[in-house]
Amino acid sequence: MRSRTGQLAATAVALALTLAACGGEAGSSASSHDGREQVTVAALPLTDAAALYLARDRGLFAHRHEHRHHPEARARPAHRAARPGEPPPPRPAPAPVHPGAEITAELVFDHLRVRLPRDRVLVEEAPSHRDALHARVPVDRSGGFLTTGSGALCWGLPLAVGRALADRRRVVCVLGDGSALYSVQALWTAARHRAPVTFVVLDNGGYAAVRALGRRIGIAPVPGTDIGGIDFAALAESFGCPAAHADRPADLPAALERALAAGDEDGPRLLHLRVAAAGEALYTAPWAG
């Protein structure tokens, strides 16, 4: 079973192969069944027998950007309204969430928004909570927010360590529990070199984004997506990174404040938060890839 992106990529590959077989040229395109999405293919001849094909799904890209939750979609009207050289107008803060029985990512981001110094770098690798972060924590400074454009995991934790070591200023890094494990050994580097990073691990017990994508394409449950039961604070401590837990909404503000209060000379801190999974509506919008 393939996602729409996969189908489009396959269309593009098929087109590329056809082009190759017919001696076709670069810049060809294909539309999906609804006619809205386009795949463009650029061909770079490498040798007489081989060429490198770049397939780009322009429709889905544009589609995503139309969506109001997408940061670039929000940035676009702001840029239009602003004069060159002026910052975009401020976006109104969303209504605060009320704490329930469990910590939610929205609650974490509300607390983070008011506690995060504006001049600090924020790194994010928390796939299913990404929209909530963008809705609640403004990105108002060039270079102040680091994330991926591709969706591949593994870079967030080490990127935060590298940024902190380069700047010697505290970086805040929000990670999903799954994402945190891809390059967890960078905690050792952070501890050893006293990289000033505050890691906030949003532990929803597994790969929520993969589960949600599975629901969308009719695979539920997706095998192997539960990774609960990991003590991230103990794991961090074992690498030499001081760490703490918070499991109840009432404990969140003080825990977050402590984790953020560490100075730029104090090295890394990790806060492990058990959070509720994002809602069933995740990735159900037509634009979602």
Ligand X SMILES: Cc1ncc(C[n+]2csc(CCOP(=O)(O)OP(=O)(O)O)c2C)c(N)n1
- Nearer residue to ligand X within complex by CB, 75 or 135: 135
Site for ligand X in 161-190 (CB under 6 A): 176-179
Does 125 bind Mg ion (CB under 5 A)? Our answer is: no
- Rounded Cα distance, 284 and 289, in Å: 9
Asked whether the beta carbons of 254 and 260 are under 8 A apart, the reply is no
Q: How far is CA 103 from CA 99, 140, 165, 179, in A?
A: 7, 26, 31, 19
Q: How far is CA 183 from CA 22, 123, 158, in A?
A: 44, 14, 7
- Rounded Cα distance, 231 and 165, in Å: 26
Interface pick for ligand X out of 172, 173, 209, 288 (rule CB under 6 A): 209
Closest separation in Å from C-beta 11 to ligand X: 22
Does 156 bind Mg ion (CB under 5 A)? Our answer is: no
Does 283 bind ligand X (CB under 6 A)? Our answer is: no
Closest separation in Å from C-beta 216 to Mg ion: 17
H-helix or E-strand spanning residue 261: helix 252-261
- Nearer residue to ligand X within complex by CB, 202 or 259: 202
Closest separation in Å from C-beta 158 to ligand X: 13
In one-letter notation, the amino acid at residue 87 is: P
Sheet containing strand 171-176, strands side by side: 145-146, 122-125, 171-176, 197-203, 269-274, 243-246
Does 104 bind ligand X (CB under 6 A)? Our answer is: no
What are φ and ψ of residue 184, in 5° steps? -60, -25
- Nearer residue to ligand X within complex by CB, 100 or 151: 151
Closest separation in Å from C-beta 245 to Mg ion: 16
Closest separation in Å from C-beta 130 to ligand X: 8
Site for Mg ion in 172-201 (CB under 5 A): 176-178
Interface pick for ligand X out of 11, 128, 189, 198 (rule CB under 6 A): 128
Does 154 bind ligand X (CB under 6 A)? Our answer is: yes
Let me know how long the chain is. Answer: 289
Task: Point out which residues bind Mg ion (CB under 5 A).
Answer: 176-178, 204, 208
Where on the chain is the footprint of ligand X (CB under 6 A)? 126-129, 151-154, 176-179, 204, 207-210
